[in-house]
Chain A
Amino acid sequence: MIAFLRLAAIGFVGLTLVYWLVSVYSRSLRREALEKRWDEGAGDAGGGDAAGDRDAYIEAGMRAYERGLRRRLIGLVYVVPVVVVVLLIWLNNYS
Protein backbone atom coordinates (compact mmCIF):
# COMPACT_ATOMS: atom_id res chain seq x y z
CA MET A 1 0.00 0.00 0.00
CA ILE A 2 2.82 2.38 0.87
CA ALA A 3 4.53 1.49 -2.41
CA PHE A 4 1.32 2.31 -4.28
CA LEU A 5 0.90 5.64 -2.50
CA ARG A 6 4.50 6.51 -3.23
CA LEU A 7 4.03 5.72 -6.93
CA ALA A 8 0.82 7.79 -6.97
CA ALA A 9 2.56 10.75 -5.30
CA ILE A 10 5.66 10.65 -7.52
CA GLY A 11 3.49 10.10 -10.59
CA PHE A 12 1.28 13.06 -9.71
CA VAL A 13 4.27 15.35 -9.26
CA GLY A 14 5.88 14.14 -12.50
CA LEU A 15 2.69 14.44 -14.54
CA THR A 16 2.03 17.89 -13.11
CA LEU A 17 5.44 18.94 -14.39
CA VAL A 18 4.60 17.50 -17.83
CA TYR A 19 1.18 19.19 -17.78
CA TRP A 20 2.75 22.53 -16.93
CA LEU A 21 5.41 22.22 -19.65
CA VAL A 22 2.86 21.21 -22.31
CA SER A 23 0.49 24.03 -21.26
CA VAL A 24 3.19 26.67 -21.54
CA TYR A 25 4.33 25.28 -24.89
CA SER A 26 0.81 25.07 -26.33
CA ARG A 27 -0.04 28.60 -25.17
CA SER A 28 3.18 29.92 -26.67
CA LEU A 29 2.45 28.24 -30.01
CA ARG A 30 -1.04 29.72 -30.08
CA ARG A 31 0.19 33.21 -29.26
CA GLU A 32 2.84 32.98 -31.99
CA ALA A 33 0.23 31.80 -34.50
CA LEU A 34 -2.07 34.71 -33.57
CA GLU A 35 0.76 37.21 -33.97
CA LYS A 36 1.62 35.80 -37.39
CA ARG A 37 -2.01 35.78 -38.46
CA TRP A 38 -2.34 39.47 -37.55
CA ASP A 39 0.92 40.38 -39.27
CA GLU A 40 -0.26 38.64 -42.43
CA GLY A 41 -3.27 40.94 -42.48
CA ALA A 42 -6.00 39.27 -40.43
CA GLY A 43 -7.17 42.62 -39.01
CA ASP A 44 -6.75 44.74 -42.14
CA ALA A 45 -10.49 44.96 -42.80
CA GLY A 46 -11.05 46.95 -39.59
CA GLY A 47 -8.32 49.55 -40.18
CA GLY A 48 -7.65 51.92 -37.24
CA ASP A 49 -4.88 52.07 -34.63
CA ALA A 50 -2.59 49.15 -35.54
CA ALA A 51 -0.61 48.63 -32.29
CA GLY A 52 -3.62 48.64 -29.96
CA ASP A 53 -5.68 46.48 -32.30
CA ARG A 54 -2.90 43.92 -32.56
CA ASP A 55 -2.74 43.44 -28.78
CA ALA A 56 -6.54 43.31 -28.55
CA TYR A 57 -6.69 40.75 -31.37
CA ILE A 58 -4.10 38.53 -29.67
CA GLU A 59 -5.70 38.84 -26.22
CA ALA A 60 -9.12 37.93 -27.68
CA GLY A 61 -7.56 34.95 -29.43
CA MET A 62 -5.88 33.82 -26.20
CA ARG A 63 -9.16 34.11 -24.25
CA ALA A 64 -10.82 31.92 -26.86
CA TYR A 65 -7.95 29.46 -26.53
CA GLU A 66 -8.28 29.29 -22.73
CA ARG A 67 -11.91 28.16 -23.17
CA GLY A 68 -11.20 25.91 -26.13
CA LEU A 69 -11.07 22.15 -26.56
CA ARG A 70 -7.37 22.05 -27.29
CA ARG A 71 -6.41 23.41 -23.87
CA ARG A 72 -8.74 20.95 -22.16
CA LEU A 73 -7.22 18.05 -24.08
CA ILE A 74 -3.93 18.68 -22.25
CA GLY A 75 -5.73 17.11 -19.25
CA LEU A 76 -5.15 13.81 -21.04
CA VAL A 77 -1.61 14.04 -19.66
CA TYR A 78 -3.13 12.78 -16.38
CA VAL A 79 -5.60 10.32 -17.90
CA VAL A 80 -3.47 8.41 -20.42
CA PRO A 81 -0.75 7.19 -18.00
CA VAL A 82 -3.39 5.91 -15.55
CA VAL A 83 -5.11 4.01 -18.38
CA VAL A 84 -1.75 2.61 -19.49
CA VAL A 85 -0.94 1.42 -15.96
CA VAL A 86 -4.33 -0.28 -15.61
CA LEU A 87 -3.81 -1.89 -19.02
CA LEU A 88 -0.31 -3.08 -18.04
CA ILE A 89 -1.59 -4.58 -14.79
CA TRP A 90 -4.26 -6.41 -16.76
CA LEU A 91 -1.89 -7.65 -19.46
CA ASN A 92 0.92 -8.69 -17.12
CA ASN A 93 -1.16 -10.40 -14.46
CA TYR A 94 -4.53 -11.53 -15.81
CA SER A 95 -4.00 -12.60 -19.40
Chain B
Amino acid sequence: MKYVKWTLYTLIVLTVFGFLHYVLPQHDIVRITDTDTRRIDFGENSIFWASPDAGTATTPAQVTRDVKFIETIQTNGRPMVYRNEDTGWIWPPYFKFDSYNLQTEASDLRSTSADPRWVVVTHYGWRNEFFTIFPNAVDVRLADGPDERIIPWVNIVILTLLLVAGIMLRRMWLQFRERTLDPVFSNAGDAWEDAGDRAGDARRGARTSWGRFKAWLRSLGG
Protein backbone atom coordinates (compact mmCIF):
# COMPACT_ATOMS: atom_id res chain seq x y z
CA MET B 1 0.00 0.00 0.00
CA LYS B 2 2.88 2.31 0.82
CA TYR B 3 4.24 1.89 -2.69
CA VAL B 4 0.87 2.57 -4.30
CA LYS B 5 0.52 5.74 -2.26
CA TRP B 6 3.98 7.04 -3.05
CA THR B 7 3.67 6.12 -6.72
CA LEU B 8 0.41 8.08 -6.82
CA TYR B 9 1.99 11.12 -5.11
CA THR B 10 5.02 11.01 -7.40
CA LEU B 11 2.84 10.79 -10.50
CA ILE B 12 0.71 13.75 -9.39
CA VAL B 13 3.76 15.90 -8.56
CA LEU B 14 5.48 14.98 -11.82
CA THR B 15 2.35 15.74 -13.85
CA VAL B 16 1.89 19.15 -12.23
CA PHE B 17 5.58 19.99 -12.55
CA GLY B 18 5.69 18.82 -16.17
CA PHE B 19 2.58 20.78 -17.04
CA LEU B 20 3.94 24.00 -15.51
CA HIS B 21 7.37 23.41 -17.02
CA TYR B 22 5.79 23.09 -20.46
CA VAL B 23 3.40 26.03 -20.21
CA LEU B 24 5.31 28.71 -18.25
CA PRO B 25 7.65 31.05 -20.15
CA GLN B 26 11.40 30.45 -20.15
CA HIS B 27 14.29 32.52 -21.44
CA ASP B 28 17.21 31.30 -23.56
CA ILE B 29 20.18 33.32 -24.73
CA VAL B 30 20.98 32.26 -28.26
CA ARG B 31 22.39 33.40 -31.57
CA ILE B 32 19.90 33.24 -34.45
CA THR B 33 21.40 31.55 -37.50
CA ASP B 34 18.38 31.45 -39.76
CA THR B 35 14.60 31.64 -39.97
CA ASP B 36 12.40 29.75 -42.37
CA THR B 37 9.04 28.10 -42.99
CA ARG B 38 8.44 24.39 -43.51
CA ARG B 39 5.43 22.25 -44.17
CA ILE B 40 4.66 19.97 -41.25
CA ASP B 41 2.40 16.90 -41.38
CA PHE B 42 1.13 16.40 -37.85
CA GLY B 43 0.90 12.88 -36.48
CA GLU B 44 1.07 11.51 -32.97
CA ASN B 45 2.95 14.68 -31.94
CA SER B 46 0.00 16.93 -32.90
CA ILE B 47 -0.82 18.07 -29.34
CA PHE B 48 2.62 19.65 -29.11
CA TRP B 49 1.79 22.06 -31.94
CA ALA B 50 -0.38 25.13 -31.67
CA SER B 51 -3.30 26.04 -33.90
CA PRO B 52 -3.33 27.61 -37.39
CA ASP B 53 -2.70 31.37 -37.56
CA ALA B 54 -5.45 33.32 -35.81
CA GLY B 55 -8.25 34.10 -38.24
CA THR B 56 -7.24 31.60 -40.94
CA ALA B 57 -9.29 28.56 -41.88
CA THR B 58 -9.47 25.77 -39.32
CA THR B 59 -10.81 22.72 -41.09
CA PRO B 60 -11.61 19.98 -38.57
CA ALA B 61 -9.07 17.43 -39.79
CA GLN B 62 -6.17 19.74 -40.54
CA VAL B 63 -3.08 17.54 -40.52
CA THR B 64 -0.74 19.65 -42.61
CA ARG B 65 0.30 23.27 -42.34
CA ASP B 66 3.23 25.60 -42.97
CA VAL B 67 5.04 26.43 -39.73
CA LYS B 68 7.60 29.17 -39.17
CA PHE B 69 10.87 28.16 -37.51
CA ILE B 70 13.71 30.08 -35.82
CA GLU B 71 17.03 28.24 -35.89
CA THR B 72 19.57 29.18 -33.24
CA ILE B 73 22.82 28.23 -31.53
CA GLN B 74 22.91 28.43 -27.72
CA THR B 75 25.75 29.96 -25.72
CA ASN B 76 27.09 26.45 -25.06
CA GLY B 77 27.36 25.84 -28.80
CA ARG B 78 24.44 23.41 -29.06
CA PRO B 79 21.65 24.01 -31.55
CA MET B 80 18.08 24.92 -30.55
CA VAL B 81 15.22 25.22 -32.98
CA TYR B 82 12.03 27.09 -32.10
CA ARG B 83 8.70 27.00 -33.86
CA ASN B 84 6.91 30.31 -34.17
CA GLU B 85 3.15 29.79 -34.10
CA ASP B 86 0.19 31.91 -33.02
CA THR B 87 -1.48 30.70 -29.86
CA GLY B 88 -4.37 33.08 -30.55
CA TRP B 89 -7.37 32.65 -28.27
CA ILE B 90 -6.46 29.03 -27.63
CA TRP B 91 -4.29 27.29 -25.04
CA PRO B 92 -1.77 28.19 -23.67
CA PRO B 93 -2.98 31.72 -22.85
CA TYR B 94 -0.16 33.77 -24.34
CA PHE B 95 -2.59 35.55 -26.71
CA LYS B 96 0.13 35.64 -29.33
CA PHE B 97 -1.10 36.84 -32.72
CA ASP B 98 2.08 38.37 -34.06
CA SER B 99 4.02 35.32 -35.27
CA TYR B 100 4.73 36.96 -38.65
CA ASN B 101 6.07 40.11 -36.95
CA LEU B 102 8.14 37.96 -34.59
CA GLN B 103 9.57 36.08 -37.57
CA THR B 104 10.59 39.41 -39.13
CA GLU B 105 12.28 40.58 -35.91
CA ALA B 106 14.07 37.23 -35.60
CA SER B 107 15.30 37.46 -39.20
CA ASP B 108 16.57 40.95 -38.46
CA LEU B 109 18.62 39.66 -35.51
CA ARG B 110 20.47 36.93 -37.45
CA SER B 111 24.23 36.75 -36.95
CA THR B 112 27.23 34.55 -37.69
CA SER B 113 29.56 32.71 -35.32
CA ALA B 114 32.33 35.11 -36.34
CA ASP B 115 30.34 38.14 -35.17
CA PRO B 116 27.61 36.87 -32.79
CA ARG B 117 24.64 39.03 -31.68
CA TRP B 118 23.17 37.39 -28.59
CA VAL B 119 19.40 37.36 -28.41
CA VAL B 120 17.00 36.54 -25.55
CA VAL B 121 14.26 34.21 -26.79
CA THR B 122 11.22 33.93 -24.54
CA HIS B 123 9.47 30.65 -25.21
CA TYR B 124 7.33 27.91 -23.76
CA GLY B 125 7.39 24.21 -24.56
CA TRP B 126 10.01 21.55 -25.05
CA ARG B 127 12.39 20.40 -27.74
CA ASN B 128 12.22 16.66 -28.25
CA GLU B 129 13.93 14.94 -31.16
CA PHE B 130 12.08 11.62 -30.80
CA PHE B 131 8.66 13.20 -31.33
CA THR B 132 9.87 16.15 -33.44
CA ILE B 133 8.47 18.80 -31.13
CA PHE B 134 9.76 22.33 -30.71
CA PRO B 135 9.34 25.08 -28.11
CA ASN B 136 7.18 27.97 -29.32
CA ALA B 137 9.02 31.32 -29.35
CA VAL B 138 6.93 34.16 -27.90
CA ASP B 139 9.34 37.08 -27.96
CA VAL B 140 12.84 37.96 -29.13
CA ARG B 141 15.03 40.85 -28.05
CA LEU B 142 18.70 41.73 -28.17
CA ALA B 143 20.58 40.53 -25.05
CA ASP B 144 23.12 42.56 -23.11
CA GLY B 145 25.55 39.74 -23.75
CA PRO B 146 25.89 35.96 -23.57
CA ASP B 147 25.98 36.10 -19.73
CA GLU B 148 22.94 38.33 -19.13
CA ARG B 149 21.16 37.40 -15.90
CA ILE B 150 17.40 37.16 -16.38
CA ILE B 151 15.01 37.18 -13.40
CA PRO B 152 11.83 35.25 -14.31
CA TRP B 153 9.35 37.78 -12.92
CA VAL B 154 6.42 36.37 -14.84
CA ASN B 155 6.98 32.91 -13.36
CA ILE B 156 7.42 34.34 -9.86
CA VAL B 157 4.11 36.19 -10.14
CA ILE B 158 2.20 33.26 -11.68
CA LEU B 159 3.50 30.67 -9.18
CA THR B 160 2.75 33.03 -6.28
CA LEU B 161 -0.80 33.53 -7.55
CA LEU B 162 -1.24 29.77 -7.95
CA LEU B 163 -0.05 29.27 -4.37
CA VAL B 164 -2.47 31.95 -3.12
CA ALA B 165 -5.30 30.33 -5.09
CA GLY B 166 -4.44 26.94 -3.59
CA ILE B 167 -4.45 28.31 -0.03
CA MET B 168 -7.72 30.13 -0.75
CA LEU B 169 -9.36 26.94 -2.07
CA ARG B 170 -8.22 25.02 1.00
CA ARG B 171 -9.64 27.69 3.34
CA MET B 172 -12.91 27.69 1.39
CA TRP B 173 -13.13 23.91 1.72
CA LEU B 174 -12.37 24.05 5.48
CA GLN B 175 -15.01 26.73 5.97
CA PHE B 176 -17.54 24.72 3.98
CA ARG B 177 -16.81 21.60 6.02
CA GLU B 178 -16.95 23.39 9.35
CA ARG B 179 -20.16 25.30 8.64
CA THR B 180 -22.10 23.00 6.31
CA LEU B 181 -20.86 19.41 6.26
CA ASP B 182 -20.00 18.83 9.93
CA PRO B 183 -23.39 19.92 11.36
CA VAL B 184 -25.14 17.56 8.91
CA PHE B 185 -22.87 14.54 9.05
CA SER B 186 -21.53 14.55 12.60
CA ASN B 187 -24.24 12.09 13.81
CA ALA B 188 -23.96 9.84 10.77
CA GLY B 189 -20.17 9.74 11.17
CA ASP B 190 -20.43 8.64 14.82
CA ALA B 191 -22.82 5.83 13.96
CA TRP B 192 -20.49 4.67 11.22
CA GLU B 193 -17.50 4.57 13.53
CA ASP B 194 -19.47 2.73 16.22
CA ALA B 195 -20.11 -0.12 13.81
CA GLY B 196 -16.67 -1.32 14.87
CA ASP B 197 -15.38 -2.57 11.53
CA ARG B 198 -11.74 -2.22 10.57
CA ALA B 199 -12.31 0.90 8.48
CA GLY B 200 -14.20 2.44 11.38
CA ASP B 201 -11.31 1.70 13.76
CA ALA B 202 -8.91 3.30 11.34
CA ARG B 203 -11.14 6.34 10.97
CA ARG B 204 -11.51 6.86 14.67
CA GLY B 205 -9.22 9.64 15.81
CA ALA B 206 -8.62 10.87 12.26
CA ARG B 207 -9.93 14.40 12.60
CA THR B 208 -9.08 16.10 9.34
CA SER B 209 -10.30 15.02 5.92
CA TRP B 210 -6.66 14.38 4.99
CA GLY B 211 -6.27 12.18 8.06
CA ARG B 212 -9.48 10.37 7.17
CA PHE B 213 -8.26 9.83 3.62
CA LYS B 214 -4.98 8.40 4.92
CA ALA B 215 -6.85 6.21 7.40
CA TRP B 216 -9.00 4.95 4.57
CA LEU B 217 -5.88 4.13 2.51
CA ARG B 218 -4.41 2.28 5.52
CA SER B 219 -7.63 0.32 6.00
CA LEU B 220 -7.42 -0.87 2.39
CA GLY B 221 -3.92 -2.23 2.93
CA GLY B 222 -4.77 -3.83 6.25
Given known contacts A3-B89, A4-B89, A7-B90, A92 and B95 CB-to-CB distance under 8 angstroms: yes
Interface with A: B77-85, B112-120, B172-180, which one? B172-180
Return chain A residues, CB-CB under 8 Å to B176. 24-25, 28
Instruction: Tell me which residues from 74 to 111 in chain B have a Cβ below 8 Å from any Cβ of chain A.
Output: 88-90, 93-98, 101
Interface size on A, residues (CB 8 A): 19
| Minimum CB distance partner of B54 in chain A | A3
The contact of A88 among B51, B55, B95, B179, by CB within 8 Å, is B95
Q: For chain B residues 153-206, which have a beta carbon within 8 Å of chain A?
A: 171-172, 175-176, 179-180
Q: Is A70 part of the binding interface, using a Cβ–Cβ cutoff of 8 Å? A: no
Q: Which residues of chain A come closer than 8 Å to B139, judged between CB atoms?
A: 92
Q: How many residues of B contact A (CB 8 A)?
A: 22
Chief secondary structure at chain B's binding surface: loop
Q: Cβ of A93 and Cβ of B51 under 8 Å apart? A: no
Q: Check A28–B96 contact: CB distance below 8 A.
A: no
A92 touches B88 (CB 8 A): no
A1-45 vs B, Cβ < 8 Å mask (1 yes, 0 no)? 111101100000000000001001100110110000000000000
Q: Give chain B residues whose Cβ lies under 8 Å from the Cβ of A7.
A: 89-90
A6–B89 CB distance below 8 A: yes
Q: Cβ of A32 and Cβ of B89 under 8 Å apart?
A: no
Considering the chains assembled together, what is the distance between the CA atoms of A92 and B97 in angstroms?
A: 8
Contact of B175 among A1, A29, A85 (CB under 8 A): A29
Question: How far is it, in angstroms, between the C-alpha of A88 and the C-alpha of B139 when the chains are bound?
Answer: 13
In the complex with contacts A3-B54, A25-B175, A28-B175, A93-B89 CB distance below 8 A: no
Interface assignment of B215: CB less than 8 Å from any CB of chain A? no
A50: chain B residues within 8 A (beta carbon): none
User: Least Cβ distance of B66 to chain A in Å?
Assistant: 19
Cα A27 to Cα B31 with chains together (Å):
56
**Inside 8 A of B89's CB, which chain A residues have their CB?**
3-4, 6-7
Cβ A89 vs Cβ B95 within 8 A: yes
**B70 beta carbon closer than 8 Å to chain A:** no
Contact A93 B96 (CB under 8 A): yes
The residues of A that contact B140 with a CB separation of less than 8 Å are none
Chain A residues within an 8 Å CB radius of B180: 28
Which A residues fall within an 8 A CB radius of B?
A: 1-4, 6-7, 21, 24-25, 28-29, 31-32, 85, 88-89, 92-94
B residues with a Cβ closer than 8 A to A are 51, 54-55, 58, 88-90, 93-98, 101, 138-139, 171-172, 175-176, 179-180
